[in-house]
Copies of this chain bind each other. A is one copy, B any other.
Amino acid sequence: MVGVRQFNEDEVIATALDVFWRKGLHDATMQDLAAATGVQRGSLYNAYGDKEAIFLRAFDQYTGQFLEAAGHALAHADTTTALRNFFDMIIVNMTDGSPARGCLTTRTALDAAISSTEVRQRVQDVLDRLEQLIGKTLSAGPGRRRAADTNRLARVFVTFTRGLAVMERAGYSRKQLKESAATFVDAVMGA
C-alpha cells in the first residue's frame, strides 16, 4: 500500500452508526459524519462514495449487534421468560442514551425519502430474521401449536416490537414501555 488511509474504518463506521442512530439517515449530513469522525467530507466521499454507502455499512453493524443480542435474550428454556428478556433488551436498546436514540430500524423504515431498494431490503431482512428468531423460540416452547400459527404469532411479536419503537418516539418512558410489553406477553402467552 502506498497512499495510506489516515483513519480506522471500523471506528469511522461505528461513529457513523452513532450519528445515524441519533439523527436518522435522512437528517444526518455528511457534515455531521465528518465532524463526528474527524474525517473530512472529501475523504469520506473518496472512501465510501456517498452517504448511503456509509449508512449501509453502519446499518449492517447495527443489525449484527441487534440480532445477536436478540438471540441471546431469547435463549431461555422457558418461552415466556425468553420473551420477557427479549422485550427488556429491545426496550433498553431504544431508550438508551440521552436523549434516547430510539430504534434505528423503525426510523429507517419510516423515512419516506428513502426510495433506495438496498436500504429497504435491509430493513425487511432484519424484520425477517427477527421473526425467525422469535418463531424458533415459540416453537421450542410447550408446543400444541401448528407451524403456521407459530409463524403468524412470531410476526405479531415483531409487529409489537415496532409498535414499542413508535411509542418510544411518541414520548412514552422506559417504564411505560416495559409495562406494555409485560401486559402484551401475559395476554398472548396466557397470564
Contact = CB atoms under 8 A, between A and B. Distances in A.
Interface of A: 23-24, 26-27, 102, 106-107, 109-113, 120, 123-124, 127, 149, 152-153, 155-156, 158-167, 169-171, 176, 179-180, 183-184, 187-188
Copies of this protein in the assembly total 2
A187 B156 CA distance: 10
A109 to B, nearest CB: 5
Interface centre among A27, A123, A124, A180 (most CB of B within 10 A): A180
A120 B171 contact: yes
B155 A166 contact: no
10 contacts: A26-B113, A109-B170, A127-B167, A152-B180, A156-B187, A159-B166, A160-B184, A162-B167, A162-B170, A166-B166
A15 B162 CA distance: 30
A187 B189 CA distance: 8
Contact of A112 (B24, B120, B163): B24
Contact of A163 (B149, B152, B153, B159): B159
A156 B184 contact: yes
A24 to B, nearest CB: 5
Contacts of A153: 183, 187
Contact of A188 (B26, B113, B188): B188
A97 to B, nearest CB: 13
